[in-house]
Structure 1
Amino acid sequence: MDTALLQPGQLLARGVARHLSLHDFACVEEFVPARGLRTDVYAVGPKGEIWVVECKSCRADFMADHKWQGYLEFCDRFFWAVDCDFPLDLLPDETGLIIADPYDAEIVRMGPETKLAPARRKKLTLKFARDAARRLHGYRDPGVSPFSDPSTF
């Protein structure tokens, strides 16, 4: 994909997903864990752990985000991903931190772990798998929208 077509936050998400794949995480960008929420990177690890990473490209992008605390109930760990020029003092200390660029990333601070309830984990893992499969199907078959969710029809 031509990176010139991507927005700054999407470029950060690309680097984050590349890095997390090195840790055996599968990532889906712009995943919707519940109606009204859309995470930048939703990652499922080798032991079923679920991480949410919100990518912020500048101060204004961070200041405009009023939903991030709503993501906490849909993951085991929460992270911010920013570039090396981002003013880090804006980010809450009780969250994880990833420094990223379009090609890679580094986990600087682990977010605290808050384990999901087993029923919620199962529901989210199933949704993750089905959404990822739908997207793959949509990319292979142009007649199918990769972002359609039959439950919303």
Structure 2
Amino acid sequence: MHGTLTDLVLPPDGRQSEAALAIRRGALRYVAACGLVGVPEFVLATGRRADIAAVCAKGEVWVIEVKSSVADFRADHKWFEYRDFCDRLFFAVAPDFPRELLPEGTGILVADGFGAALIREAPRHPLAAPQRKALTLRLARCAAGRLMNLMDPDAMRGIEL
């Protein structure tokens, strides 16, 4: 049957390198194995774009920042802003990434295109209830909007996510 959810594949947007896409895929597989669902390239209320925002059934939110190289990590000075939008903040990196560069107080996932391993658990910094509600609503609208857009792009004209 045509048009099933398994037929829907998000096209690449061209912003990420092949290495970053592989790390993201592995990190998304990891969160799924942990019972979370993730939204890649999630735009936060500040306009910043988190590589992955994931939520569990109880509402805990993780942000995972993908770093495909040392140069990518050193060029990024915005990741610390993501802590205000999650209960846990992780970095996902390739197996050969020098993990000593990653900041304390963040989780570490080592990932490739097939999966990821938790190297360091991220400390929990619970969101305030109003922030959690706003973030959860934003995540839901983003995920539903992307699904609707894949199924019927014309239906999404004029809808801002």
TM superposition score normalised by structure 2: 0.85
2:42 to 31, 36, 39: 31
Shift of 1:141: 1.1
> Could you say if the C-alpha distance between residues 122 and 87 of structure 1 is closer, same or farther in structure 2, counting changes exceeding 3 Å?
same
Instruction: String of CA shifts for 1:106-137, please: whole Å, max 9, x gaps.
Output: 11111111000001001100110011000000
Unmatched runs of 5 consecutive residues or more in structure 1:
none
1:85 to 89, 96, 102: 96
Residues 71-110 of structure 1 mapped to structure 2, 5 A cutoff: 71-110=82-121
Instruction: String of CA shifts for 1:22-48, please: whole Å, max 9, x gaps.
Output: 111010000012233100010001211
Return the alpha-carbon distance in structure 1 between the equivalents of residues 74 and 50 of structure 2: 16
Shift of 1:51: 0.3
SS in 2 for 1:61: helix
Q: Counterpart in 2 of 1:51?
A: 62
Residues 94-133 of structure 1 mapped to structure 2, 5 A cutoff: 94-133=105-144
1:142 to 147, 153, 156: 153
Which residue type is aligned with residue 85 of structure 2? F
TM superposition score normalised by structure 1: 0.89
Q: Counterpart in 1 of 2:5?
A: none
2:72 to 53, 58, 61: 61
> Could you say if the C-alpha distance between residues 23 and 64 of structure 1 is closer, same or farther in structure 2, counting changes exceeding 3 Å?
same
Shift of 1:142: 3.2
Which residue type is aligned with residue 84 of structure 1? P
RMSD of aligned alpha carbons: 2.1
Return the alpha-carbon distance in structure 2 between the equivalents of residues 149 and 27 of structure 1: 22
Return the alpha-carbon distance in structure 2 between the equivalents of residues 54 and 9 of structure 1: 10
Shift of 1:143: 2.6
Q: Counterpart in 2 of 1:42?
A: 53
2:22 to 3, 11, 26: 11
